[in-house]
Structure 1
């Protein structure tokens, strides 16, 4: 039974769990709360906090994902409570003198808050904000400043945006507290201009993604597809070793589901064809009753396993932060067992409508009727009125190269295609040694090379002026 309480103004969830005692601070601060300019700040804050914690014999750790940061400790009750109190003191007075060191550690770690497959699909399907941030190549960690960290912590590390969880009565330590504050609004994801269903070339392994309602049918559908592909592609054909998947929320009603597989490159098309085939079969007639019953039984076993107590408390904390009902393990099991074959069929039909496949190489003929959109040009952006810059006479750039910068935005035309966006939608400007890359909210990127323009230095100066605090320095290999 999950119980609710408060700890010095912070909501708390707890249940009597197996020994030893575990407690954690769950904060609604993840990659989806970052901007292109502040990419990596959630992870940097976690590093700064943990670097300042004293040595302990407790089992401790912390992690950051798409929507949460979690700090946890396991051991004797009194020592765990003291550790959480110390952690909250550190949060209130971060060791910002360590910022440069920890930023270098982040770059050395090169860690990601989401599986690469999920990050790729989020970036392909969405712009820079919300879930799209998982797949964005943003500012390098070394360009983060103390002000970026202070602002992120001031908005996110507040009592209304955190939950204390524990496998026993919650801590009573006076220092387990955060500044008062309400949960801030999370940036909304904006769909990219990629037409769906479709296929794109880039990742080293075959991927598939689709949208599904945030209901119990979402994990059931994903698991049914994974199981069917594992039987066919591994056990029957020997094409892959593993098929796996994951998901991330897009908004209050929708999840992005992603599936990936390993195996040789020459088998990628067959893997993706099989994925489409499984989804079509499920959309046509739903799963076999025995398959659905099996997945429901597995879900009940997982949800009621006492070894998953802490994980379920983290899920409960996430739901509480998102304003969703906190469900018991029994309630969640009952919800999954209520999923019908018709529910799965409807979810599979929507998956086919929103399907995006990906693999290493272009497939001009498409895959199982899903067209290859690798070389599709996005719709042209509206023309901007302003000062034009044209191609230098001695340049290898396209002859129609033209950059226009005005009060409302900028555009660049090359090879007959016009790209760019409005200043209101500008999310970042990468300042390279000989280029400027402007990134807009829909994920579009326009790279301006001043060396190809007449009076190109003046164009760069105007872009930098417009960029303001959104600008960040990068190396030549950032592109």
Structure 2
């Protein structure tokens, strides 16, 4: 992979195709939006695509936002010039119309979260529990209704993040005469370091279990994740699960990543045994720390990470030149990984084991040896307020004393004498079909309150943009 600079933008290129493929990447993702601006990057993309004359792909992730195109050198150059010209002076005269037509569900697809129920994605839960409202911790929550965004905040967001100082370009050939990246200059924004929280296992509203560890960025993280994927998938198959796993690597500081796996079920019956699935995740991670991977496992892990073809590597290498660390492992990581030993990988896993975090679906009873149960802080006192009681069905199903108290400044979930309090400033309400879910963005937790008939009663008391409806 070659690198050069064009108009203040780092360009990574490699001859891999007769057609020209280009990926213009900006170092801004969901982690930079904050809980009350989720979706801004996607909206900026839609505004750009509305103005340009050619069709193009686009995506936004936890850490980046990209525009891609392919064609002849002239077509690609014209497309990039159009994108840059629009970003340099973003037209907002059709903002209301585009925002009204937008489908925030496209953002869920782009982020790679659980399609049918993104709030219950295990990786989103793990990040929210670990990071709260900081960085990628907000990715669990649905996008803000795009019509709520003002022209001023869209314009300010574009000016802060979509400029030459925060851009990189991946090309399938060397830059050619006539290719320009006419973006305005600007400083590369800082991505705040995030302090990870306590390790352990916890209950949450998730579709299936997941596991995360805080790892030093680099090739060892890549290999630990790769070996974990191999061993977990083999163990799940042997246990008869009908499921798949998503592997994740999410930057949380200039030197650390959250790496891990989320399980997603596709079958029924025993294949939805979340206690067994959680035990497999935990035991296989511990196993790497005590039983070094075989050379074959290391080769398979490296081959898996190196599986992208030349065109697929373009955005990965562009991101690698822009973000440190990135959320994907590039050619330098893969090359360095080939020089590491099984004991290097085992030692890294052992050193990170103390940061392990496991989520299991609410109601799942697990026994994970060496991993303590954790939870949100609770008290025993609930102040006076409007009391919302659950349906008779929920009372009979759970058999406990449960109700909500809406006080002047907080929502209190009372269950068997334990009081979990959510200040209105930390609350978020998600209506997902017929379900109503109450979240605490600071704790990262989610509670199903459908049976309380509480959507409107709670929603009208929340700060602007915290009542979100998904379809």
Same fold (TM over 0.5): yes
- Does residue 89 (structure 1) correspond to residue 85 (structure 2)? The answer is yes
- Write the distance in 1 (CA, Å) between the matches of 2:142 and 2:369: 31
Q: Are residues 1:221 and 2:218 paired? A: no
CA distance in 2, matches of 1:314, 1:353: 33
Query: TM-score w.r.t. structure 1 length?
Result: 0.76
Q: Do the aligned residues in 1 keep the contact of 2:131 with 2:196 (CA within 8 Å)?
A: yes
Quote the Cα distance in structure 1 between the aligned partners of 2:112 and 2:337: 25
Partner of residue 297 from structure 2, selected from 291, 295, 301? 291
Residue 366 (structure 1) aligns with = 367
CA contact (8 A) 2:39 2:107 kept: no
Kindly state the Cα deviation for residue 165 of structure 1 after the two structures are TM-superposed: 2.2
Residue in 2 that maps onto 1:255: 257
Please give the residue correspondences for 1:324-335 in structure 2 after superposition, counting only pairs within 5 Å: 331-335=332-336
Aligned partners of 2:359 and 2:2: how far apart in 1?
Answer: 41
Task: Provide the secondary structure at the position in 2 that maps to 1:150.
Answer: helix
The answer to whether the aligner puts 1:474 opposite 2:467 as a matched pair is yes
| Alpha-carbon distance in structure 1 between the residues aligned to 2:427 and 2:155 | 20
Residue pair 1:202, 1:358 contacting (<8 A) in 2 also: no
1:391–1:399 contact (8 Å) kept in structure 2: no
Query: Cα RMSD between the aligned structures?
Result: 4.2
2:44 counterpart residue number: 45
Deviation of 1:411 (Å)? 9.7
Q: Which residue of 187, 210, 213 maps to 1:182?
A: 187
Over alpha carbons, which structure has the higher Rg?
1
Q: Gaps spanning 5+ residues in structure 2: where?
A: 115-121, 391-401, 432-437, 448-456
1:172 and 1:217 mapped to 2: Cα distance? 40
Question: After alignment, is 183-192 or 147-156 more displaced?
Answer: 183-192
* Counterpart-to-counterpart distance in 2, 1:111 and 1:155: 24
Q: Shift of residue 378 of structure 1?
A: 1.4
**Matched position secondary structure for 1:97:** coil
Structure 1 residues 160, 400: CA separation in 2 closer, same or farther (over 3 Å shift)? closer
The CA distance in 2 between the partners of 1:365 and 1:173, in whole Å, is 62
Deviation, structure 1 residue 349: 2.3
Note the C-alpha offset of 1:168: 1.8
1:138 Cα shift?
5.5
Could you give the per-residue CA deviations for residues 53-91 of structure 1, whole angstroms, max 9, x where no partner exists? 2146xxx31111111111111111111101111111121
C-alpha separation between the residues in 2 aligned to 1:440 and 1:115? 18
**Cα shift readout 1:102-149 (whole Å, capped 9, x = no counterpart):** 333223646342433432321222211211121134533231121221
Taking the aligned partners of 1:317 and 1:109, their CA distance within structure 2 comes to 23
* Contact kept in structure 2, 1:191 and 1:442, CA below 8 Å: no
Distance change >3 Å, CA 111–CA 71, structure 1 → 2: same
Q: TM (normalized to structure 2)?
A: 0.77
Measure how far apart 1:167 and its partner are.
1.7
1:44·1:106 contact (CA, 8 Å) conserved in 2? no
Question: Residue 206 in 1 paired to residue 209 in 2?
Answer: yes
Q: Secondary structure at the match of 1:168?
A: coil
Q: Contact 1:362–1:372 at 8 Å: present in 2 too?
A: no
Residue in structure 1 matched with residue 127 of structure 2 by the alignment? 122
Matched-pair contact (CA < 8 Å) for 1:127–1:444: no
Partner of 2:338: 337
Q: Return 67-76 or 349-358, whichever deviates more.
A: 349-358
Cα distance in 1 for residues equivalent to 2:370 and 2:201: 9
Q: Structure 1: which 5+ residue stretches go unaligned?
A: 384-388, 447-456
Question: Structure 1 210/329 Cα, relative in aligned 2: closer, same or farther at 3 Å?
Answer: closer
What does residue 70 of structure 1 align with?
66
**Aligned match of 2:9:** 10
Larger deviation, residues 61-70 vs 361-370: 361-370
Following TM superposition, by how much is the alpha carbon of 1:182 offset from its aligned partner in structure 2, in angstroms? 0.6
1:107 and 2:98 are equivalent in the alignment: no
